[in-house]
C-alpha cells in the first residue's frame, strides 16, 4: 500500500518510482505537491479552552484542512487488591473513524 492510503491503513509509506520522482522534482523546484512554495505554511489555529467539556483538559489544533482534538480525563480510584500501596494509570486512546480505535493500556505505578 502506498501514499495516503498506506498512511490511513497504518502501513509504512512506500513510494513507487514515479511517486518518488514526482517528490524529488518538487523539491528541486521548491514547490510542494499542492502548489505552495516551500516557505509558505498552512494557517495554524490552537484552542485550549472549552474544547471537550467532559474532559479535565482538552485542546484542538487546526493546520490547513486537518483538525486534531485531544481530551484528557483523570480520576482517583482505589488501588488494586493485590497491590494496595501502588497506583494505576489507565490510558485509553480513541481516534476518529479514519484511524480506528486503539485499545487501552494499563501502567502500574510503584510507590517511590
Number of H helices, E strands in the chain: 2, 5
User: Given this model, what pLDDT does residue 98 score?
Assistant: 54
The residue with greater pLDDT, 110 or 80, is: 80
| d(C-alpha 15, C-alpha 24), whole Å | 11
User: Given this model, what pLDDT does residue 1 score?
Assistant: 42
Percent of the chain with pLDDT over 70: 71
| d(C-alpha 23, C-alpha 16), whole Å | 11
Residue pointed to by grid coordinates 505554511: 41
User: Given this model, what pLDDT does residue 18 score?
Assistant: 92
Bridge pairing between strands 101-109 and 87-94 = antiparallel
| Residues 14/1, Cβ–Cβ less than 8 Å | yes
Q: In the numeric block, which cell numbers belong to residue 101?
A: 480505535
Q: Output the CA–CA distances (angstroms, integers) from residue 110 to 76, 80, 82, 84, 87, in the order listed.
A: 16, 12, 13, 10, 7
Q: What is the mean pLDDT of residues 62-81?
A: 84
Question: Per residue in 13-63, pLDDT tens?
Answer: 688 899 889 888 888 988 887 788 888 888 899 999 888 888 888 899 998
Percent of the chain with pLDDT over 90: 8
| Residues 2/19, Cβ–Cβ less than 8 Å | yes
Looking at the chain, how many residues does it have? Answer: 112
Amino acid at each position: 500500500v502506498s501514499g495516503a492510503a498506506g498512511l490511513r491503513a497504518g502501513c509504512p509509506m512506500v513510494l513507487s518510482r514515479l511517486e518518488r520522482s514526482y517528490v524529488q522534482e518538487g523539491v528541486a523546484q521548491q514547490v510542494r505537491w499542492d502548489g505552495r512554495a516551500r516557505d509558505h505554511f498552512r494557517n495554524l489555529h490552537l484552542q485550549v479552552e472549552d474544547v471537550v467539556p467532559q474532559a479535565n483538559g482538552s485542546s484542538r489544533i487546526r493546520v490547513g484542512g486537518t483538525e486534531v482534538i485531544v481530551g484528557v480525563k483523570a480520576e482517583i480510584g482505589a488501588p488494586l487488591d493485590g497491590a494496595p500501596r501502588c497506583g494505576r494509570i489507565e490510558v485509553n486512546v480513541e481516534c476518529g473513524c479514519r484511524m480506528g480505535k486503539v485499545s487501552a493500556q494499563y501502567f502500574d505505578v510503584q510507590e517511590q
